[in-house]
């Protein structure tokens, strides 16, 4: 019958645990990266379109206010 070598078992267990921890860390980073890429690809296009539309509306509103200020016209009056 073979005798159990305690230091060898301890070293082997620590090595297996370290490799498992490293493997887990790599998998978590891969999952986070893939999730970020998918969320940008699938979901942020709508948010980006909404932000662009809001910026365009803000630019148009500011241009109208500048025209009104330069012409001295009220907001409700038209030619």
Alpha helices in the chain (DSSP H): 6-42, 44-71
Q: Is residue 67 part of a domain?
A: yes
Residues 75/68, Cβ–Cβ less than 8 Å: yes
Q: Is residue 52 part of a domain?
A: yes
Q: What pLDDT is attached to residue 74?
A: 53
Report pTM. Answer: 0.47
Q: Is residue 51 part of a domain?
A: yes
Find the domain containing 24 and state its range: 10-71
Q: Is residue 2 part of a domain?
A: no
Angle value at C-alpha 73, between 66 and 71, nearest 5 degrees? 55
Q: Is residue 5 part of a domain?
A: no
pLDDT tens-place string over residues 26-64: 999 999 999 988 887 777 666 777 788 888 888 888 888
Q: Is residue 3 part of a domain?
A: no
Q: Is residue 77 part of a domain?
A: no
Query: How many folded domains does the chain comprise?
Result: 1
């Amino acid at each position: 019958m073979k005798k159990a070598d305690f230091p060898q078992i301890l070293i082997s267990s620590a090595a297996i645990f370290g490799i498992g921890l490293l493997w887990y860390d790599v998998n978590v980073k891969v999952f986070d990266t893939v999730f970020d890429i998918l969320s940008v690809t699938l979901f942020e296009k709508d948010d980006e379109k909404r932000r662009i539309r809001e910026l365009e509306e803000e630019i148009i509103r500011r241009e109208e206010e500048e025209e009104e200020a330069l012409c001295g016209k009220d907001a409700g009056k038209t030619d």
